[in-house]
Amino acid sequence: MTQDAPETAPSMRPATAPSTALLTDHYELTMLDAALQDGTAHRECVFELFARKLPNDRRYGISAGIGRALELLEHFRFTEPELEFLVGQRVVSEDTADWLADYRFSGTIRGYREGEVYFPQSPLLEVRSSFAEGVILETMLLSIFNYDSAVASAAARMVSAAEGRPLAEMGSRRTGERSAVAAARAAYIAGFSATSNLEAGRTWGVPTMGTAAHAWTLLHEDEREAFAAQVAALGTDTTLLVDTYDVQRGVRNAVEAGGLDLGGVRLDSGDLPVLVREVRAQLDELGARRTRITVTNDLDEYAIAALAASPVDAYGVGTSVVTGSGSVASGMVYKLVARKDDRGDWVPVAKASPGKASVGGLKYPVRRRSAHGTATGELISVGGLPVGDEDDRPLYVDFVVDGAVDRTWTGPEGVRLAREHRASAVAELPRTAMRLGRGEPAIGTYYIDERGATTRV
């Protein structure tokens, strides 16, 4: 971006973190309590996290959140304060509180890599554990995946619309303080270049950026004085906000303050397609041909696409990206899809409610690709047996095995890997996937049963 972005610092996450065990809904614990009483709590089960459809009839979604989820899982512990609250509020019995005191997830979690493209019914996450261990993770996992994937999916569309021009996430003041950090992380995974949020920089290694707001200009006696002071403090490569008063005068003042090597100017209001052309022409006329133009002002993917032919150098996006551009949640659900019976055999189970039916059974998904590497379909084996041929790409990786978290997927390094994977996964999609209008998913999703019969979702 045009703003002053220092190199990413290493993570400075605190060595200890508070318990995340109460980031859940009341009924998760009442189900646990009842299951411990009737003896079903330790029955081996498989839970699946998926979305029945894509928000707003989009062409694809981006899975995001597993890196955050794994870190919160490691702190999913019921310490004395949590147990006192649960017993005091009569959420659980004393016996269940004793069980919770020793809770450590000991199961296995696998799923789509962070940054992976997903479609309706894609089995994004599989949690295999006892009923008791898996059921109480539902709300925490859904709250992370539903929000992070909504932001990443919207951000990916903006990245496509920007056609290679950098974008910065600037929406912290438009969402909750913790959501702001998650949004910055998800947008970066989806291809944004930087964020204004410093905690996202410290915790997740996202490059940060920022210079000055209108308040800086209003603080000074006049615009020229404000610009001169900013250049003196931050150097000529800084970006000056030129629309506090009159834009044409602001551009002249900016070039006078920063010289012909001024880094950039920012526009935060007005008829941007027209204004950007006028400012570019003025900068060139003044000799500041290398000065970049950054635009902000309530941008979304459609506004960015409308500016494709304008001489914009970079974008800053706030409200739209942190609210999923109209879809603040991804519509994901977490369902029990299989359990073992008394003989130790897997039994598929599924919800049959109209409009909310799920598909039971263990799953094995692959991305079908042509010989040229273009995605043509999502194949999901029902029954858990591997499917596909040599051109197909298996979609599951292990995140937790027998309770041990693979930290490859966590921290700043996990974010870097997710960002790289998102780029390669999107590159596999057919060109029609980049359309912003509503339509069918870019590729179809197909179930393959144990007899080899194929059904399209």
Distant-in-sequence, close-in-space partners of 95: CB < 8 Å, separation ≥ 6 = 36
Burial environment of residue 141 by CB neighbours within 10 A (0 to 12, 13 to 18, 19 or more): buried
Residue keyed to tokens 């978290």: 405
- The CATH number of the structural domain formed by 211-312 is 3.20.20.70
HSE (CB half, 13 Å, CA atoms) of 425?
Answer: 30
pLDDT tens profile 128-160: 999 999 999 999 999 999 999 999 999 999 999
Share of the chain above pLDDT 70, in %: 96
Please report how the helices 66-73 and 177-189 are oriented relative to each other, as an axis angle in degrees rounded to 10: 130
The model's confidence at residue 6, banded by pLDDT at 50, 70 and 90, is very low
Q: Which among 153, 154, 65 is positioned nearest to 111, based on CA atoms? A: 65
**CATH 3.20.140.10 in the chain, residue ranges:** 26-150+327-456
Average pLDDT, integer, range 354-358 = 84
Look at residue 354 in the predicted model and tell me its pLDDT: 86
Look at residue 296 in the predicted model and tell me its pLDDT: 96
26-150+327-456 under CATH 3.20.140.10, yes or no = yes
Average pLDDT, integer, range 360-372 = 95
Residue 1 has pLDDT above 80, yes or no: no
175: helix, strand or coil: coil
Beta bridge partners of 293: 265
Beta bridge partners of 45: 129, 339
Distant-in-sequence, close-in-space partners of 31: CB < 8 Å, separation ≥ 6 = 135
Burial environment of residue 223 by CB neighbours within 10 A (0 to 12, 13 to 18, 19 or more): buried
Residue 401 has pLDDT above 50, yes or no: yes
- Give the rounded distance of the alpha carbon of 168 from its chain centre: 15
Average pLDDT, integer, range 83-111 = 97
Look at residue 4 in the predicted model and tell me its pLDDT: 46
Give the pTM. Answer: 0.94
Residue 17 has pLDDT above 90, yes or no: no
The model's confidence at residue 16, banded by pLDDT at 50, 70 and 90, is low
Average pLDDT, integer, range 266-295 = 97
Look at residue 390 in the predicted model and tell me its pLDDT: 84
Look at residue 3 in the predicted model and tell me its pLDDT: 44
Look at residue 400 in the predicted model and tell me its pLDDT: 98
Residue 24 token pair: 């859940």
Compute the distance between CA of residue 367 and CA of residue 374 in angstroms, rounded to an integer: 10
Mean pLDDT for the chain overall = 94
Look at residue 8 in the predicted model and tell me its pLDDT: 38
Look at residue 13 in the predicted model and tell me its pLDDT: 45
Q: Are 119 and 52 in contact (CB under 8 A)?
A: no
Residue 340 has pLDDT above 50, yes or no: yes
167: helix, strand or coil: strand
Residue 284 has pLDDT above 50, yes or no: yes
Q: Which amino acid is at 348?
A: P
Look at residue 389 in the predicted model and tell me its pLDDT: 85
Beta bridge partners of 292: 264
DSSP 6: P
Compute the distance between CA of residue 348 and CA of residue 361 in angstroms, rounded to an integer: 4
Residue 217 has pLDDT above 60, yes or no: yes
Residue 15 has pLDDT above 90, yes or no: no
Residue 184 has pLDDT above 90, yes or no: yes
